[in-house]
Structure 1
Amino acid sequence: MSLETCAESLRTQDPHRFGCMMAAAPADRSKLVTLYALNLELARAPLQSADPLLAEMRLQWWIDRLRAMGQGDQPPSHDLLSPLHDAWGDKAEAMVPLAEGRKRDCDRQPFDDPAQVEDYVNATAGSLMHLAASALGADADAYAAVSRQALGMGLASWLGALPQLQAWNMGLVPQIAPAAARELARSALLSLDAAADARRLVPRRAAPALAAPAATRAFLTSVADGLQDPLEPAPTISPFRRRAALARLALTGRWWV
């Protein structure tokens, strides 16, 4: 997978992050596009087998390759590992926690506590955003803002996918689902507010790593207020609205909502 193929995969499967990557400085794009393409592969790996052991073996393959790169090993010629190594070098080992955060998916078990969902989101969406933000110059001073934005956005994305997750037995146990979803939406809104309050600690260069999709706050508010059934598909965002949000990001550097 060349950089161009990584970008095309991202454009079709994760259009928001594709747009954010394109809003980044040209020198930063190779790191973002390979990181986000890896994230797609890690999310897919546990779902490629219904057998938990086989699913974890697929995920472990990626973990082993990332650790080997961290030890200075040149990866075998590979569609994604090769451009990933070119962009990140031995720093690719920092992506191991992102991969390990997906191990829970191998068991396909629902969550029975909203706190468990937050831990999962921090391990997956949180790890991803910290890697992207650090690559774009966010330092320790920005850590709290990045963490809060990652939790808010990650919960919004997870809630948006909840109908499909329920079908895969990877969402919430049915007894708590509606109430827990509302609680998670409220938690996400508080996290986004905290991130916005700390926005001055985030360098503008890092804005593409933190930008939320269009209508994130509106969706979370509707779930929190009981106006949107979290077990039904969320309203789709028009391409025009998505492009408008990305244009604002590119022009103003505003990532908070």
Structure 2
Amino acid sequence: MLTRKIMSQLLTQTLKTAQYAKLRTQTTTTSNEDSLNYCANIVKSHDYENFLATLLMTKALRSPALVVRAFNVEIARVQGQTTDPQIALMRMQFWQDTLKDIYKTDQSLSQVPANPVAQELFKVCSVYKIPKRNLQKLIDSRQRLMKAKYFGSLADLEKYTDDSVSAIYYTMLWLAGIQNLHADHAASHLGKAQGLANMLRSIPMSSHYKMVYVPMDLLMKHDVSQEDVLRCQDSENMRNCTYEIAISANNHLKKARKIDVPKLANQIFLPAVAVNNYLKKLQKCNFNVFDKSLVQRSATLPLLYYFMRLLNKY
């Protein structure tokens, strides 16, 4: 039998879903394309693994989750849209200003920038009352990285992943009405695991962005130069750096999976499957982060996602 607390949560979630659906039907985008479809398309194009996981969420959570993911994608890809750091910072400032506008008292949709993601995010924030600090972390963390261009230590990298990835999971939990310390703890560990795995994936792109994502303390410890990383030069020392980051990611993933969380949170944490899949592939490559096979999409990942979703595990 459902407890009174669970019944209340379900009722609240249903009401918020209805409010969000009603708000969405009141407006259309100037491009004549549904703004939610736009959000889904950019997540699918730039964050495919999380897109697949989001599709397997319950219908009530799927739409607002896609909007949050789309907002994150827009911020994350600012740097890749230009080689000029000043232009990148200006584009990031647009999202700073937009987020500020969204959270103004008595704000209306007409006063939000005519950007599909911005307008859809306003609708989600209006209905679900998402804490601004979670979304603000996504912007601030990437702005700091754009200015610093490197991580001093593995601890610095983990702090960045907590701000840039775990914050998304905190927001997802809020959307689901889950206020649970155990779930927050799992979100923190999973965010760090996924963020570290994402950084490992980004290392081959270092030369394009002129940034070295391997922490400086690891480079010094294993006698690897920044130039070696930018040149995508594989070596035993470089693999030792990769190994240490991968071990940290795997430890966080194991900790996240050991935590008992509310059943609804399991579907939110489904991307853990993709993190585990990547780390296993990296291990098979003997931690050569430049191995070409690592950039290929996993044909089995959709099945793994679906199987774990049926089991309601992550």
Fold shared by both chains (TM-score > 0.5): yes
Letter in 1 for 2:311: T
Match of 1:82 in 2: 119
RMSD: 2.5
The one of 192, 201, 220 equivalent to 1:160 is 201
* Cα offset, 1:102, TM superposition: 0.7
Match of 2:296 in 1: 236
- Alignment map for 1:77-226 (pairs within 5 Å): 77-89=114-126, 91=130, 93-94=132-133, 95-107=135-147, 109-141=149-181, 142-170=183-211, 171-172=213-214, 174-175=224-225, 177-198=238-259, 200=260, 202-212=261-271, 214=273, 216-217=275-276, 219-221=278-280, 223=282
Instruction: Give the conservation status (yes or no) of the 8 Å contact 2:189–2:253.
Output: yes
Percentage of identical aligned residues: 22
Query: What TM-score do you get using the length of structure 2 for normalisation?
Result: 0.72
Letter in 2 for 1:18: F
Note closer, same or farther for the CA distance 1:151–1:104 as it changes in structure 2 (3 Å cut).
same
* Cα offset, 1:235, TM superposition: 5.5
Cα distance in 2 between the residues matched to 1:238 and 1:179: 25
Instruction: Give the conservation status (yes or no) of the 8 Å contact 2:130–2:171.
Output: no
- Greater mean alpha carbon deviation, residues 225-234 or residues 100-109: 225-234
Match of 1:252 in 2: 311
* Cα offset, 1:195, TM superposition: 0.8
Whichever of the two has the greater Rg, that structure is: 2
Note closer, same or farther for the CA distance 1:86–1:219 as it changes in structure 2 (3 Å cut).
closer
Note closer, same or farther for the CA distance 1:42–1:177 as it changes in structure 2 (3 Å cut).
farther
| Greater RCO (Cα-Cα under 8 Å, separation 6 or more) | 1
Note closer, same or farther for the CA distance 1:254–1:22 as it changes in structure 2 (3 Å cut).
same
Instruction: Give the conservation status (yes or no) of the 8 Å contact 1:108–1:168.
Output: no
Instruction: Give the conservation status (yes or no) of the 8 Å contact 2:96–2:139.
Output: yes
Note closer, same or farther for the CA distance 1:61–1:135 as it changes in structure 2 (3 Å cut).
same
Q: Unaligned stretches of 5+ in structure 2?
A: 1-33, 226-236
- Greater mean alpha carbon deviation, residues 212-221 or residues 141-150: 212-221
Query: What TM-score do you get using the length of structure 1 for normalisation?
Result: 0.86
Match of 1:52 in 2: 85
Note closer, same or farther for the CA distance 1:30–1:226 as it changes in structure 2 (3 Å cut).
closer
Cα distance in 2 between the residues matched to 1:227 and 1:210: 27
Cα distance in 2 between the residues matched to 1:103 and 1:181: 25
* Cα offset, 1:34, TM superposition: 0.6
